[in-house]
Amino acid sequence: MIVAESKPIEEIKEMIKHYKKVLILGCGSCVTVCLTGGRKQVELLASALRAMKKAAGEEITIGERTIPRQCEPKFVDQTIEEASQYDVILSMACGAGVQGIVDRLRKPPVLPAMNTTLLGMADGEGNFREVCLACGNCLLAYTGGICPVARCAKSLINGPCGGSQGGLCEASKVNPCVWQLIYSRLKELDMLHVLKDMSNKRKWPVHPQRMLKEDSGIKKEQTKGA
């Protein structure tokens, strides 16, 4: 999932200081799961901003809404009429969500209330770790299902650097060396031989990429412009 965290309240306050009518729009997908941008967080942010404005003797109208996904046009389109009544939209979604709204609604302006941090998975409630960079050229078949691009501090794809000690990454001193994990996993599966096949598999896609769904299936296009 895409993991994001809320921007500091003072930064948000500064972004909206010139607006009198603000629609806070939450996202019911990834940021709801990671407990940062769902309906509850929309309510908390709205309450905090109202309190800050009241304490400063300033008037503000804040609307609250959460849609299933801000990156999907059919859900964004459901907000068109309501959004037109506000001076600005404060999006509590990832960067894709913010841009998803911009693509569909030319007005009002859309501001991010979140910082998009990583593409990862949960170790436990409230604890998420980066495991994928969405690089467009997956090598997991050759690395035991463990991604060296995302989980190596140097994104090394041909084996470990010379700095790892005791199975730990030299850059963090806490995170395990991902190549130690890969080696141990492949050895456990009796698949060490696949490492020999990955040396020429890495391709660097041209960004931004697009994926087009057609009758014949899903086709991926590499483009130099949106």
CA atoms within 13 A on the CB side of 175: 16
In terms of residue numbers, what domain contains 49?
2-118
Q: Is residue 40 in some structural domain?
A: yes
Q: Is residue 204 in some structural domain?
A: no
- What's the confidence (pLDDT) of residue 225? 46
User: Which of 118, 145, 175 corresponds to the end of one domain?
Assistant: 118
- What's the confidence (pLDDT) of residue 221? 52
Write down the H helix ranges in the chain. 9-15, 30-33, 39-55, 73-76, 80-83, 95-104, 148-151, 178-188
Q: In sequence order, which residues have a C-beta less than 8 Å from that of residue 162 and are 6 or more positions away?
A: none
Query: Is 158 found in the same domain as 50?
Result: no
What is d(CA 149, CA 42) in angstroms, rounded to the nearest whole number? 34
User: Which of 118, 151, 166 corresponds to the end of one domain?
Assistant: 118
Query: Is 176 found in the same domain as 88?
Result: no
Read off the tokens for 82: 């309501």
Q: Is residue 127 in some structural domain?
A: no
* Per-residue pLDDT tens digits for 61-110: 999 999 999 999 999 999 999 999 999 999 999 999 999 999 999 899 99
- What's the confidence (pLDDT) of residue 226? 43
User: Which of 118, 150, 178 corresponds to the end of one domain?
Assistant: 118
Query: Is 149 found in the same domain as 60?
Result: no
Query: Is 24 found in the same domain as 67?
Result: yes
Q: What is the CATH number of the domain that holds 106?
A: 3.40.50.2300
220 CA to centre of own chain: 21
As a whole number, the mean pLDDT across the chain is: 88
Query: Is 147 found in the same domain as 111?
Result: no
Query: Is 95 found in the same domain as 155?
Result: no
Query: Is 102 found in the same domain as 11?
Result: yes
Query: Is 153 found in the same domain as 81?
Result: no
- What's the confidence (pLDDT) of residue 37? 95
CA nearest to 169, candidates 157, 184, 180, 183: 180
Query: Is 109 found in the same domain as 161?
Result: no
Q: Is the model's pTM score more than 0.85?
A: no
Residue ranges of the chain whose pLDDT lies below 70: 124-126, 199-207, 209, 211, 213-226
Query: Is 184 found in the same domain as 146?
Result: yes
Beta bridge partners of 116: 4
Number of domains in the chain: 2
The burial of 36, by beta-carbon neighbours within 10 Å (0-12 exposed, 13-18 middle, 19 or more buried), is given as buried
Query: Is 108 found in the same domain as 77?
Result: yes
